[in-house]
């Protein structure tokens, strides 16, 4: 049988291939030695020859990667650990890490979990997106969802896999990122069908009046700040009295509270603290009433966590939080705080985050500029604001036209 350099037949139906990948100088002898990569190929001699030619071609054009059997299940958790860190230093935000952890667990129970990175193809990703849209992991097995995932949610999986495989490509673990090859209808897209849930103006006013009349000073002040400032729920829970300037009547959102994180106070979603925002006098009055009630609670109770200096904190002891003044959990604000207020006021159900959308709607209805709205909400780019609230801005054009005409044709 004809022999081929670098190809040796094994006892079974396989061949061992040796390819020179580089050279190095022996520090002891000074001799230059070859760096070789050995690969086993099952099949015929022609299969082995084709594989050797493929490897040599990749080496010549700089696209060679060392063969590896690392799977998505093995790679993704390690990749996520490396991406953790301070967002200001390029690390992923804690909330993103939490979201990615849940998505990686879902991927770990999918058909692509045990596919080697180097064998992963765009068809595999397309099949996974279709599956995750219709099925979920219930802790034991995959079951059909009651409602398919939205395109926005499926896009979240694509963004995760694209980022992870991009790093794998940069680290020479794979030659091409298959997620980058998904084009057109195969690639999940951000749909424009999203519409924020917003209360009518009369419902917002009724909710505020009910909170002031029937709720605790903290609950009323919390609602007023959420609607006036438009902050996210983790930002609301992370407000400290040092962020409130009584002289100027402003509140600065500089951090957010993540109880599950290592350091409890984390940088904002955008990374940078927002500049102080002017608040309405009535909002500041409600805050003052809440502060007075909180101070009285501190004097009456010995076990109060004053060191955190939180504006909104636990006012009742539980078996999990026996000390007053401890942080509120952003995750159950709806159940423990907002839902009872909505029921008392008799207004439609909304999420805590929808208060932020209501704040934006109030500013749009009042004719504020996109730049001013984005600044108050903490959007780094006004185009984000325009995309999220496009359906409200369309309806607002009639008012813009009327005001513009009043200026153009004044005195006629």
Banded pLDDT at 350 (limits 50, 70, 90): very high
What pLDDT digit, counting tens, does each position of 335-345 carry?
Answer: 889 999 999 99
Banded pLDDT at 363 (limits 50, 70, 90): very high
The whole-chain average pLDDT of the chain stands at 84
Residues 293, 203 contacting (CB under 8 angstroms): no
pLDDT of residue 1: 53
What pLDDT digit, counting tens, does each position of 10-63 carry?
Answer: 877 788 888 876 777 777 787 887 777 777 888 888 888 888 887 777 766 656
Residues 17, 39 contacting (CB under 8 angstroms): yes
Any residues with CB less than 8 A from the CB of 35 and at least 6 apart, and which? Answer: 20, 21, 22, 23, 24
Q: How far is CA 115 from the centre of its chain?
A: 26
- Residue 366 burial (C-beta neighbours within 10 Å; 0-12, 13-18, 19+): exposed
Would the pLDDT of 307 be above 70?
yes
What pLDDT digit, counting tens, does each position of 369-382 carry?
Answer: 899 999 999 988 88
Beta-bridge partner residues of 71: 116
pLDDT of residue 145: 87
pLDDT of residue 342: 95
Q: Domains plus CATH for the chain?
A: 7-60 (no CATH), 72-186 (1.10.150), 201-399 (1.10.443.10)
Would the pLDDT of 262 be above 60?
no
Banded pLDDT at 400 (limits 50, 70, 90): low
Most distant CA pair in the chain, distance: 103
Q: What average pLDDT does range 351-374 have in this prediction?
A: 92
Q: What average pLDDT does range 237-247 have in this prediction?
A: 95
pLDDT of residue 322: 59
Banded pLDDT at 195 (limits 50, 70, 90): low
């Amino acid at each position: 049988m004809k022999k081929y350099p670098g190809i040796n037949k094994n006892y079974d139906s396989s061949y061992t291939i040796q390819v020179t990948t580089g050279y190095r100088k022996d520090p002891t002898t000074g001799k230059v030695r070859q760096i070789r990569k050995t690969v086993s190929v099952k099949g015929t001699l022609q299969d082995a020859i084709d594989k050797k030619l493929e490897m040599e071609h990749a080496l010549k054009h700089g696209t060679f990667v060392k063969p590896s059997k690392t799977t998505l299940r093995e790679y993704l958790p390690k990749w996520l650990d490396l991406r953790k860190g301070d967002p200001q230093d390029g690390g992923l935000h804690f909330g993103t890490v939490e979201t990615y952890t849940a998505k990686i667990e879902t991927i770990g129970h999918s058909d692509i979990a045990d596919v080697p990175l180097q064998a992963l193809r765009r068809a595999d990703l397309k099949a996974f997106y279709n599956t995750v849209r219709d099925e979920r992991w219930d802790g034991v097995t995959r079951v059909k969802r009651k409602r398919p995932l939205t395109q926005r949610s499926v896009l979240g999986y694509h963004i995760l896999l694209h980022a992870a495989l991009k790093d794998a490509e940069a680290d020479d673990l794979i030659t091409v990122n298959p997620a980058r090859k998904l084009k057109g209808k195969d690639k999940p897209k951000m749909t424009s069908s999203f519409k924020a849930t917003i209360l009518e103006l009369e419902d917002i006013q009724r909710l505020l009046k009910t909170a002031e009349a029937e709720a605790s000073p903290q609950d009323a002040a919390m609602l007023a700040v959420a609607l006036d400032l438009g902050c996210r729920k983790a930002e609301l829970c992370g407000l400290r009295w040092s962020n409130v300037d009584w002289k100027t009547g402003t509140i600065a959102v500089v951090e957010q509270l993540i109880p599950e994180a290592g350091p409890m106070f984390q940088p904002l979603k955008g990374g940078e603290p927002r500049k102080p925002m002017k608040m309405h006098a009535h909002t500041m009055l409600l805050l003052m009433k809440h502060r007075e009630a909180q101070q009285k609670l501190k004097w009456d109770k010995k076990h109060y966590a004053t060191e955190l200096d939180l504006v909104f904190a636990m006012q009742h002891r539980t078996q999990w939080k026996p000390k007053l003044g401890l942080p509120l959990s952003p995750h159950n604000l709806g159940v423990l705080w907002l839902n009872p207020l909505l029921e008392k006021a008799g207004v439609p159900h909304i999420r805590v985050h929808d208060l932020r959308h209501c704040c934006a709607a109030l500013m749009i209805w009042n004719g504020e500029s996109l730049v001013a709205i984005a600044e108050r909400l903490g959007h780094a780019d006004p185009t984000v604001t325009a995309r999220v609230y496009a359906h409200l801005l369309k309806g607002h054009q009639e008012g813009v036209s009327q005001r513009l005409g009043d200026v153009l044709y004044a005195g006629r």
